[in-house]
Amino acid sequence: LRTEYINVERLSLVGQMAASITHEIRNPMAVVRGFLQLMKEKSPDTLDHYYRIVMEELDRANGIISDFLSLAQNRAAEKEECHLHDIIHELSPLLWADANLRGQNIELKLGTGIPELYLNAKEMKQLILNLCRNGMEAMDDKGTLTIETRLEGDLAQLYVADTGIGIPENELERLFEPFFTTKSKGTGLGLALCMSIVQRHHGTIDVKSQLGKGTVFIISFPLGSYLHGLPESQSAAASE
């Protein structure tokens, strides 16, 4: 079994991203503008179709802007003690609905003994949702997405595994680059955002992938005191 590990450095690309985002946002905007022009002349049936395209593209532009903003903020959001499992359970209905639509399965394997961590729940949801969506998008309708948690030594770990197409070796190192995407409708911001969220929580992301077999993303949070109950200011002191 061939596996690839990468461990990604801190993002420092926000400057370059401002230029890229201008370009990215112009694409959906140009589509919207073009279809609005066409709408002036068309029958009600055609209008319905155009309407859907216009809404999709506007949502896409909006998605790019919100992801970009979360990424650009890149500051410690407020954290509080919460449990990864509670966050996963809160996301479940959304994930199951998504999987159902695609005819895919989701397996939950929640480990025991994992304590509460010092987390920003909203960011954790964003992280898990992004990883799960990528997993689903990489699989056909027989795929299984596995969400697993483990306590490994002094790490709390979250695994998001899919049985999808896998990632070619030459793409692994680019995965977390803002705007790197292999999808026609992708933004390439999902994993960049995941990386920045994990870093804000003092964790790490690893990826193992096998072409044609699947991919697993492993997020590890250290169970140090600074994750377990200390506010940010004290955590800096505690970790020195």
Q: How far is the CB of 191 from Mg ion (least distance, A)?
A: 6
Q: Taking a C-beta distance cutoff of 8 angstroms, is the pair 178, 196 a contact?
A: no
Task: For residue 188, state whether it binds Mg ion (rule: CB under 5 A).
Answer: no
**For ligand ADP, which residue of 3, 16, 182, 225 counts as binding (CB under 6 A)?**
182
Tokens representing 222 are 């250290």
Task: For residue 8, state whether it binds ligand ADP (rule: CB under 6 A).
Answer: no
Task: For residue 134, state whether it binds ligand ADP (rule: CB under 6 A).
Answer: yes
Q: How far is the CB of 92 from ligand ADP (least distance, A)?
A: 19
**For ligand ADP, which residue of 187, 196, 220, 235 counts as binding (CB under 6 A)?**
187
Pairing assessment for the beta strands 155-162 and 105-109 based on DSSP bridges: unpaired
Task: For residue 21, state whether it binds ligand ADP (rule: CB under 6 A).
Answer: no
CB under 8 Å to 225, separation ≥6 — which residues?
A: 235, 238
Q: What is the dihedral of CA 27, 32, 38, 43, to 10 degrees?
A: 130
Q: What span, in angstroms and rounded, lies between the C-alpha atoms of 13 and 141? A: 36
Task: For residue 25, state whether it binds ligand ADP (rule: CB under 6 A).
Answer: no
**For Mg ion, which residue of 164, 190, 203, 214 counts as binding (CB under 5 A)?**
190
Task: For residue 134, state whether it binds Mg ion (rule: CB under 5 A).
Answer: yes
Residue type, 235: S
Phi, psi of 222 (to 5 degrees): -70, 140
**Part of the chain binding Mg ion (CB under 5 A), chosen from 65-73, 134-142, 143-151, 158-166:** 134-142
Q: What span, in angstroms and rounded, lies between the C-alpha atoms of 193 and 126? A: 9
- The site that binds Mg ion (CB under 5 A) totals a number of residues, namely 2
**For ligand ADP, which residue of 74, 146, 181, 210 counts as binding (CB under 6 A)?**
181
Q: What span, in angstroms and rounded, lies between the C-alpha atoms of 79 and 121? A: 7
Q: What span, in angstroms and rounded, lies between the C-alpha atoms of 99 and 106? A: 7
Task: For residue 196, state whether it binds ligand ADP (rule: CB under 6 A).
Answer: no
Task: For residue 164, state whether it binds ligand ADP (rule: CB under 6 A).
Answer: yes
Q: Taking a C-beta distance cutoff of 8 angstroms, is the pair 113, 151 a contact?
A: yes
Q: How far is the CB of 49 from ligand ADP (least distance, A)?
A: 24
Q: Taking a C-beta distance cutoff of 8 angstroms, is the pair 196, 188 a contact?
A: no
CA angle 158, 160, 164 (to 5 degrees): 165
Task: For residue 175, state whether it binds ligand ADP (rule: CB under 6 A).
Answer: yes
Task: For residue 180, state whether it binds ligand ADP (rule: CB under 6 A).
Answer: yes
Task: For residue 203, state whether it binds Mg ion (rule: CB under 5 A).
Answer: no
- The site that binds ligand ADP (CB under 6 A) totals a number of residues, namely 21
Task: For residue 197, state whether it binds ligand ADP (rule: CB under 6 A).
Answer: no
The residue ranges that bind ligand ADP (CB under 6 A) are: 130, 134-135, 138, 162, 164-165, 167, 175, 180-183, 186-192, 215
